[in-house]
Amino acid sequence: MASYKIITALAFALALSAMADSRADGLPASMMLAQSSGLDCNAIARQVAAEEGGDLLSVDESGGQCVVTVLVPASGGERPRKVTRRVSG
């Protein structure tokens, strides 16, 4: 069972993400970042870490994609998990 702090942190991150996603053209913020001139993997990595509620481990650009790895805190005595996401540009 997830702890109160984790649930609160995830709710806060989700609220921030929703505010960032409220754009006139309706595109999510992560798509907006990937579609800007050039690929800004650092900004995308910050967005992914906030969405996952974890700490950024690494970010790389590979073949027009940002490869972001985040360490998500454990809940209920479980081990933390590593999440890797690819965001296309």
Beta bridge partners of 59: 68
Q: What is the pLDDT of residues 3-53, one digit of tens each?
A: 656 666 655 555 555 555 444 344 444 444 444 436 899 999 999 999 999
Helix (H/G/I), strand (E/B), else coil: 83: strand
For residue 80, what pLDDT band results from cuts at 50, 70 and 90?
very high
Spatial separation of the C-alpha atoms in residues 75 and 86, rounded to whole Å: 25
Q: Enumerate long-range contacts of 8-11, CB under 8 Å, 24 or more apart.
A: 9/53, 10/53
User: Please, are residues 83 and 72 in contact by the beta-carbon 8 Å criterion?
Assistant: yes
Helix (H/G/I), strand (E/B), else coil: 4: helix
